[in-house]
Structure 1
Amino acid sequence: MFRKSIQRLAVRHQSSVAKSAPRPLSNAYVGKLETRWTSLPKEDQSALIDSLKTRMELPWQELTPAEKKAAYYISFGEWGPRRPLYGPGDQAKVVYGVLGGIFASIVIYAGIRAISAPAPATVNREWQEASDEYLKSKNANPFTGYSQIQ
């Protein structure tokens, strides 16, 4: 007799029926969590995570679809360190910024060239050839060419 009562208590203690199952979370509490997760205070976020943890200790068939979606979002959603670096319109901003920078640099370069003095006469080809001939005749550059014996 005593043995049977202990067995009943052991079975009741091990069964999931004897445990008080946490109640399902309301759809208003866990529904559309993706849109409002970042605006929730940290205390509410941690409370929601704790309540979902207690619900997920049950078999997954007992969870509501909203609870499953909320658990998935909390575990794998785009928040915290998994938030994307760039938003939906940021690519266009980057492209327009780069193109604007290139255009501005071209305009600045052309403006500087327009207001600068003309090139000196020593830059043209004839001047360079004449100076090369003069250096060859004077053996002016012994290290790289003009006066080396071939």
Structure 2
Amino acid sequence: MFRQLAKQSISNVSKCQTRFASTSITPAAISNLQGRWEKLPESDKQNLIEALSEKQKLPWTTLSLEEKKAAWYISFGTWGPRRPMETPEDSAKIYKGIAIGFFFSAALFIAYYSQRTIPRTMNKEWQEQSDEYLASKNSNPFSTYSQVQSK
């Protein structure tokens, strides 16, 4: 029974290979596909997509390296809807704008906080007087009560 199943599967594989062998792809059709894909006519694109999809139904060991690269590019390459929206020049402008905005906001932050005055309740004398007042009111919740902030 096992031999019969093995013979059937071998015959099915050979039939499948002969059926898909008719869809041969020339190396010239898939060489430098990344550079030529946008310029190819739609009919050639569809023929190439169909031929590669038929070849991919075979075991992947039968595909050449160029065919694998072409199949990957057609499936996941940067063409059509996956084409980047901005060019490298646009990206450089975007990064420069982000850097300028960051440095401008940092300069504003430093300028604002350098002009800021310390509130009068934060000086050491005020805090010491607060400690004396709390001690006079017996406001010692656990062990000591200190308002003096460390520098």
TM-score of the two chains, using structure 1 as the length reference: 0.51
What displacement does 1:32 show?
Answer: 1.1
The answer for the alignment partner of 2:60 in structure 1 is 60
* CA apart distance, 1:44: 0.7
Matched-pair identity in %: 39
Q: Which structure shows the higher helix fraction?
A: 2
Query: Over aligned residues, Cα RMSD in angstroms?
Result: 2.8
Equivalent residue runs for 1:3-82 within 5 Å? 11=8, 14-19=11-16, 20=18, 21-22=20-21, 24-82=24-82
**What is the match of residue 108 of structure 1?**
none
Are the aligned partners of 1:24 and 1:64 in contact in 2 as well (CA < 8 Å)? no
Q: Secondary structure at the match of 1:18?
A: helix
The structure with more radius of gyration: 1
After TM superposition, the score normalised by the length of structure 2 is: 0.51
Cα distance between partner residues in 1 of 2:84 and 2:39: 17
Q: Residues 31 and 66 of structure 1 are in contact (CA less than 8 Å); yes or no, is this contact kept in structure 2?
A: yes
TM-superposed deviation, 1:16: 1.4
Partner of 2:89: 89
Distance, in Å, in 2 between the alignment partners of 1:18 and 1:95 is 57
- Residues paired across the two proteins, number: 90
Distance 1:94 1:12 in 2: 58
Separation in 2 of the partners of 1:13 and 1:69?
Answer: 28
Question: Which runs of no fewer than 5 residues in structure 1 stay unpaired?
Answer: 1-6, 99-150
Assess if the C-alpha contact under 8 Å between 2:24 and 2:51 holds in 1: no
Q: Which 4+ runs in 1 deviate beyond 6 A?
A: none
Secondary structure at the counterpart of residue 84 of structure 1:
coil
